[in-house]
């Protein structure tokens, strides 16, 4: 049992590290469709992580959450986003508020910050998923940062979804999952948010012939 | 009694739902709303009377799924008094509404109006019954919102929308203060229950108590219409449908008086320094005087009545404030007297102000205008409305034998008894307040001499007035009920005072009914019989007898009892309505005397004939009085908020990324702070 648990903990750490790595990849990637693919990959890793936690802690409701991650975040949402991208005329981030090397450096700083902040609470967490909490926080911060750094509505949406993945990891890691009702609610929210943002992006494309959200400032009086 | 409560709730509930279930049938909608409201208010009247005479408060509670919210109700004698008042006015106005709504059928949805009206009455009743701060605030806010929707019934007019917005802003400002006051109580007591507010484990600190006093005064004062927070009344009350104005002006603003008494006497247990009472007294005196003075200058009948509400709230606060001063000096019996006088005026004002608003509504119904200068000669065309309006006018002018006289007399007595206070300053101040009250009374009399004279006497001033007809029976019944109550409350204080004493005694700890009623039980004597006493039945009898005597004498000395109809002698020229005394002309002397306060601007332009400058062709006359509070208090405040908003616009650039960055930076900063 001890052995299994330690291997499990190692595996979860590995998965968390992979999640973080995909985050960096998303920050470095300019092509929109590639960003979506990377998000799907990240969600797949998250699915594995959640399933592992569910298996190791024998809490069955996490299986459901993991399954939902698999269906919604790996299949449905990427497909919706791909459809949106097909509709666009600009399929790359042309101008970014923060260029890629600086962005990567900032993200590195954010990871350090996350570990620094999580330091005092890490020993209090469950044995199995100790380091995941700091990584979850780092993913949340990076997701938020992506939303700020990017100009295209689609990549902002990806940033939002990454942020949500971070929250999910945090919830699974820190407390072995939120109550199922909350989990279901969150999934529903994310799905709806994606759909709405997708429609909104299409409308934006039609109205401005671009999905650069900076253009929204001209709506001001 | 709980059964009655269920009838009341069920009645209002039916009144809200049923009309909405009968689309496209305005006649049956009108009937169902009114019948439901009549059932509910009748239950409320009985409930109020039973609650006033009950020895123990009735309580009940219902746990809700919302955290911290428990639907606790408590019907003590104070609450019962207000429930009675709301229901009585509600009953009369619901009967009135049957006819009145026909008039507004084309302009507004009868179903919506009826449902909102029932909801409004229900929320007001719940405000009074609530025994939980959360529940109270919920009902309070709903009451404000529903009355807002009622105010903007005729929302096609820009004037109405402006009035509605004004009301909405002011009422929310007030609510914000009340919420803060209750949150301070909650912090201390750890529960939203009023029971916990009354008996907290640790009493509030002195500073907090003062803060709560001020917050409650500002918050409830906004709803009550204390100067300078009264500015919304003359906007909101006139534009609402008249039966709604009657309820808003007659009883809604009284819920604020209820709130003040509840907080000061119940939650604080009547423990406060003298200057609290003095502040209330001072604001009361200022409101009374300024209210009536602005009312005098109004020619829009409903605006005039709205300003009179400010005046009467002032008179109520004179009583309550004097009571608070006595209370802080331990003069419990006088405190009870002051409070009793205040409450007596509260119910009296509810009756006569509702009556007058219904009268104004009838005039509006018959003539389609609110401008007094277009009335005239209506007494002959609308004798019932005229008679009821006269009773209301006599009451509000505090003339015997009606109710306004009794309660103002009691307020006077309370103020005169100030010689028992040990402080010289207050010994001086209370009689000054009495003098202001006397001035107020005189000006109110002048105002209603104007209102009644211009509207009902002489010749019609416009074709509207010439073609006016008496209003339907239901509207007359509604006014008749209130008029009867006005006279009854005036003639029978010996019955009313013991009932009011039931409501006041738990607050001050003294029952004074037996002391006020003089030995034979037919007169009131607040101080002692030698100091002053009043027997209204005898007074009424005297009035009737002297009138009969005068008539008898006139006949005996050769007068005729037949009516002689002939033209007035007009120095040889035919009299036309244009020669009549106008409302503006009537108040001209008063405007001159108080020109410092009114700051009138008069514009007179004359257009001459081209041939000769000795003959005027046309003259233009225009006059305005300065709305001082709006100009010097509210306009600068609004302008200041505007500039502040302009400054804040810099950080609200509209960029999505900027907002995200704000969130990001705040998050990081908070996380770092937490480490």
Q: Is the pLDDT of residue B521 over 70?
A: no
Which pLDDT value is given to residue B25? 80
> A205 or B236, which is more confident?
B236
Q: What residue of A is the nearest CA neighbor of B653? A: A217
> Which A residues, 106 through 135, put their C-beta within 8 Å of a C-beta on chain B?
113, 116-117, 119-120
Q: Is the pLDDT of residue B528 over 80?
A: no
Per cent of chain A over pLDDT 90 is 22
Q: What is the pLDDT of residues B335-375, one digit of tens each?
A: 999 999 999 999 999 999 999 999 999 999 999 888 888 88
Could A120 and B675 be called an inter-chain contact, meaning their C-beta atoms sit closer than 8 Å?
yes
- Between chain A and chain B, the number of residue pairs with CB atoms below 8 A apart is 41
Q: Measure Cα distances from A68 to A48, A169, B12, B161 in Å.
A: 12, 14, 47, 50
Among candidates B654, B663, B671 on the partner chain, residue whose Cβ is nearest the Cβ of A220: B654
Q: Which residues pair with A31 in a beta bridge?
A: A92
Q: Is the pLDDT of residue A108 over 70?
A: yes
- For the purposes of burial, counting CB atoms within 10 Å of the CB of A210, is it exposed (0-12), middle (13-18) or buried (19 or more)? middle
Mean pLDDT of chain A: 83
Q: What is the pLDDT of residues A113-160, one digit of tens each?
A: 988 888 887 777 666 666 788 888 899 999 999 988 888 888 888 898
Q: How close A67 gets to chain B, by Cα (Å)? A: 31
Q: Is the pLDDT of residue B287 over 90?
A: yes
Which pLDDT value is given to residue B377? 87
CB B73 within 8 A of CB B60: yes
Could A141 and B661 be called an inter-chain contact, meaning their C-beta atoms sit closer than 8 Å?
no
- Whether residue A96 is preceded by a cis peptide bond, meaning omega within 30 degrees of 0, is no
CB B470 within 8 A of CB B381: yes
Q: Is the pLDDT of residue B203 over 90?
A: no
Q: How close A55 gets to chain B, by Cα (Å)? A: 32
Which pLDDT value is given to residue A220? 59
Q: What is the pLDDT of residues A169-209, one digit of tens each?
A: 888 877 776 777 777 878 888 888 888 888 788 787 777 77
pLDDT level of residue B524 (50, 70, 90 thresholds): confident
Which pLDDT value is given to residue B387? 95
Range among A45-49, B313-317, B376-380 rated most confident: B313-317
Could B657 and A214 be called an inter-chain contact, meaning their C-beta atoms sit closer than 8 Å?
yes
Among candidates B654, B660, B668 on the partner chain, residue whose Cβ is nearest the Cβ of A147: B660
Could B656 and A120 be called an inter-chain contact, meaning their C-beta atoms sit closer than 8 Å?
no
Among candidates B653, B660, B674 on the partner chain, residue whose Cβ is nearest the Cβ of A148: B660
Q: How far apart are CA B370 and CA B192, in angstroms?
A: 45
DSSP B234-284: HHHHHHS-HHHHHHIIIIITHHHHHHHHIIIIIISTT---HHHHHHHHHHH
pLDDT level of residue A1 (50, 70, 90 thresholds): very low
Q: Is B673 on the interface with A (CB under 8 A)?
A: no
Could A216 and B674 be called an inter-chain contact, meaning their C-beta atoms sit closer than 8 Å?
no
Could B667 and A151 be called an inter-chain contact, meaning their C-beta atoms sit closer than 8 Å?
no
Which pLDDT value is given to residue B392? 95
Q: What is the pLDDT of residues B114-168, one digit of tens each?
A: 999 999 999 999 999 999 999 999 999 999 999 999 999 988 899 999 999 999 9
Report the greatest alpha carbon distance in chain B: 103
Here the tokens at position B383 are: 């004798």
Q: How far apart are CA B13 and CA B115, in angstroms?
A: 9
Q: How far apart are CA B252 and CA B151, in angstroms?
A: 13
Q: Model ipTM? A: 0.81
| Cβ-Cβ contacts under 8 Å, B667 against chain A | 141, 144
- SS3 track for chain A: CHHHHHHHHHHHHHHHHHHHHHHHHHHHCCEHHHHHHHHHHHHHHHHHHHHHHHHHHCCHHHHHHHHHHHHHHHHHHHHHHHHHHHHCCCCECCCCCCCHHHHHHHHHHHHHHHHHHHHHHHHHCCHHHCCHHHHHHHHHHHHHHHHHHCCEHHHHHHHHHHHHHHHHHHHHHHHCCCCHHHHHHHHHHHHHHHHHHHHHHHHHHHHHCCCEHHHHHHHCC
| Cβ-Cβ contacts under 8 Å, A120 against chain B | 675
Range among A4-8, B24-28, B102-106, B458-462 rated most confident: B458-462
Closest CA to A202 of A89, A101, A73: A89
| Cβ-Cβ contacts under 8 Å, A213 against chain B | 656-657
Within 10 A of B557 (CB to CB), how many other CB atoms are there? 7
Q: Is A97 on the interface with B (CB under 8 A)?
A: yes
Question: What would the mean pLDDT of B460-488 be, rounded to a whole number?
Answer: 91
Which pLDDT value is given to residue A96? 78
CB B335 within 8 A of CB B261: no
Among candidates A120, A144, A213 on the partner chain, residue whose Cβ is nearest the Cβ of B656: A213
Q: How far apart are CA B257 and CA B263, in angstroms?
A: 10
């Amino acid at each position: 049992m001890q052995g299994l648990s330690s291997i499990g903990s190692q595996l979860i750490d590995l998965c968390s590290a992979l999640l973080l790595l995909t985050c960096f990849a998303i920050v470095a990637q300019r092509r929109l469709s590639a960003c979506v693919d990377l998000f799907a990959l990240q969600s797949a890793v998250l699915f594995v992580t959640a399933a592992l936690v569910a298996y190791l802690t024998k809490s069955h409701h996490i299986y459901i959450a993991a399954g939902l991650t698999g269906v919604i975040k790996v299949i449905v949402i990427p497909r919706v986003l791909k459809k949106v991208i097909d509709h666009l005329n600009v399929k790359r981030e042309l101008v970014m508020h923060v260029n890629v090397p600086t962005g990567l450096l900032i993200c590195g700083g954010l990871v350090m910050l996350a570990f620094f902040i999580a330091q005092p609470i890490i020993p209090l967490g469950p044995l199995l998923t100790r380091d995941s909490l700091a990584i979850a926080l780092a993913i949340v911060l990076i997701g938020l940062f992506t939303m700020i750094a990017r100009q295209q509505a689609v990549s902002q949406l990806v940033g939002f979804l990454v942020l949500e993945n971070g929250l999910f990891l945090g919830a699974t890691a820190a407390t072995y999952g939120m109550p199922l009702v909350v989990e279901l609610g969150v999934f529903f929210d994310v799905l709806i948010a994606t759909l709405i943002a997708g429609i909104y992006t299409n409308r934006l494309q039609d109205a401005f012939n671009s999905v650069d959200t900076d253009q929204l400032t001209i709506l001001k009086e | 009694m709980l059964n009655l409560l269920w009838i009341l709730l069920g009645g209002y509930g039916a009144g809200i739902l049923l009309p909405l279930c009968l689309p496209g049938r305005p006649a049956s909608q009108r009937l169902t709303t009114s019948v439901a409201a009549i059932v509910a208010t009748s239950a409320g009247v009985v409930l109020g009377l039973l609650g006033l005479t009950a020895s123990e408060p009735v309580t009940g509670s219902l746990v809700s799924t919302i955290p911290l919210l428990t639907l606790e109700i408590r019907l003590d004698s104070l609450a019962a008094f207000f429930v009675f008042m709301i229901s009585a006015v509600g009953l009369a106005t619901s009967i009135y509404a049957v006819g009145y709504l026909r008039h507004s059928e084309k302009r507004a949805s009868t179903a919506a109006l009826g449902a909102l009206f029932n909801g409004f009455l229900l929320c007001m009743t719940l405000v009074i019954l609530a025994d939980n701060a959360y529940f109270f605030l919920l009902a309070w806010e709903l009451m404000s919102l529903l009355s807002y929707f009622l105010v903007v019934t005729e929302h096609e007019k820009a004037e109405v929308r402006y009035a509605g917005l004004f009301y909405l802003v002011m009422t929310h400002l007030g609510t914000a203060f009340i919420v803060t006051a209750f949150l301070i109580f909650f912090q201390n007591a750890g529960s939203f229950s009023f029971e916990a507010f009354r008996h907290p484990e640790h009493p509030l600190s002195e500073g907090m108590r003062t803060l709560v006093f001020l917050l409650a005064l500002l918050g409830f004062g906004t709803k009550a219409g204390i100067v300078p927070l009264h500015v919304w009344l003359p906007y909101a009350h006139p534009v609402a449908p008249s039966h709604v104005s009657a309820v808003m002006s007659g009883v809604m603003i009284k819920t604020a008086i209820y709130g003040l008494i509840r907080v000061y006497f119940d939650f604080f247990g009547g423990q406060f320094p003298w200057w609290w009472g003095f502040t209330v007294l001072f604001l009361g005196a200022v409101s009374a005087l300024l209210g009536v003075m602005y009312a005098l200058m109004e020619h829009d009948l409903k605006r005039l009545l709205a300003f009179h509400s400010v005046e009467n709230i002032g008179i109520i606060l004179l009583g309550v404030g004097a009571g608070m001063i006595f209370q802080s000096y331990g003069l419990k019996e006088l405190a009870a007297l002051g409070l009793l006088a205040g409450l007596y005026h509260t119910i009296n004002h509810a009756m006569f102000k509702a009556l007058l608003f219904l009268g104004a509504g009838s005039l509006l119904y018959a003539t389609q205008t609110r401008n007094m200068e277009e009335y005239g000669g209506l007494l002959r065309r609308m004798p019932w409305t005229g008679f009821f309006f006269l009773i209301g006018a006599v009451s509000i002018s505090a003339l015997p034998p009606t109710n306004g006289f009794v309660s103002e007399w009691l307020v006077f007595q309370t103020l005169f008894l100030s010689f028992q206070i040990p402080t010289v300053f207050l010994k001086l101040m209370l009689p000054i307040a009495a003098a202001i009250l006397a001035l107020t009374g005189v000006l109110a009399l002048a105002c209603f001499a104007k209102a009644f004279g211009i509207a009902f006497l002489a010749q019609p001033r416009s074709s509207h007035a010439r073609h006016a007809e008496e209003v339907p029976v239901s509207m007359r019944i509604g006014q008749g009920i209130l008029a009867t109550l006005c006279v009854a409350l005036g003639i029978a204080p010996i019955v009313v005072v013991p009932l009011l004493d039931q409501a006041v005694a738990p607050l001050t700890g003294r029952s004074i009914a037996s002391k006020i009623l003089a030995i034979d039980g037919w007169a009131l004597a607040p101080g002692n019989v030698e100091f002053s006493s009043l027997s209204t039945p005898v007074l009424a009898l005297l009035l009737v007898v002297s009138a009969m005597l005068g008539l008898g004498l006139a006949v005996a000395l050769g007068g005729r009892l037949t009516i002689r109809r002939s033209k007035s002698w007009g120095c040889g020229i035919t009299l036309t309505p244009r020669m009549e005394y106008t409302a503006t002309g009537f108040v001209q002397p008063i405007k001159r005397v108080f020109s410092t306060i009114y700051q009138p601007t008069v514009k007179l332009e004359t257009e001459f004939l081209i041939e000769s400058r000795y003959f005027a062709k046309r003259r233009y006359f225009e006059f305005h009085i300065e709305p001082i509070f709006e100009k010097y208090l509210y306009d600068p405040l609004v302008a200041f908020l505007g500039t502040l908003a302009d400054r804040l616009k810099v950080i609200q650039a509209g960029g999505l990324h900027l907002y995200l960055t704000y969130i990001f930076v705040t998050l990081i900063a908070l996380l770092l702070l937490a480490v």
